[in-house]
Amino acid sequence: MRLMLKGTGPTATKYAIKTLTLCTAASHVAREELLKSDKKLSVLRHLLASSGDEMVTGNAALCLAHCLDMEGTGSSLLGSDIVPLLLRHAAGGAKRTAVRQNAAIALGKLCRSEPRHMNKLRELHGVEILHSCTKLIAWTP
């Protein structure tokens, strides 16, 4: 599945990430295998950074959130670009609410699993940004 995500066209990527997300949601073993083959989750981070398709972005964020349930995943992502990537999608970079929610869930799990990510979020004023987005959503009729 990971190989299908690397060098394929947009349609194959869309279905591959959807399948991978379903597998990681249902199976602890699937999460372990994904992490064993890609400790820094570079394929998921690449999809978060470069995909113009919000369905792909949302599924990549959700798959990442599933993987963050595994011990040590947050620590393995230290020094990566994951906090700004998730913050960008959670803070309204995405049009679809589900994409923003998936990114926010992944960001929350990331910060909970490794407190140093919370420090990075604070440096980026991410807490304030997320708070203002939440207030905006709450006031939208």
Which pLDDT tens digit goes with each residue over 82-99? 999 998 998 876 678 889
Distance of CA 37 to the CA centre of its chain: 17
Q: Is the pLDDT of residue 135 over 80?
A: no
**Considering its fold, how many domains does the chain have in total?**
1
Question: In angstroms, rounded to a whole number, what is the distance separating the alpha carbons of residues 133 and 139?
Answer: 10
Q: Is the pLDDT of residue 107 over 60?
A: yes
Question: In angstroms, rounded to a whole number, what is the distance separating the alpha carbons of residues 23 and 43?
Answer: 16
| Nearest by Cα to 18 from 1, 39, 35 | 1
Q: Is the pLDDT of residue 115 over 70?
A: yes
Which pLDDT tens digit goes with each residue over 8-58? 788 888 999 999 999 999 999 999 999 999 999 999 999 999 888 999 999
Distance of CA 123 to the CA centre of its chain: 19
Question: In angstroms, rounded to a whole number, what is the distance separating the alpha carbons of residues 121 and 14?
Answer: 29
**pTM greater than 0.75 (yes/no):** yes
Q: Which domain holds residue 107?
A: 2-139
In this structure, what CATH number is given to the domain that contains residue 130?
1.25.10.10
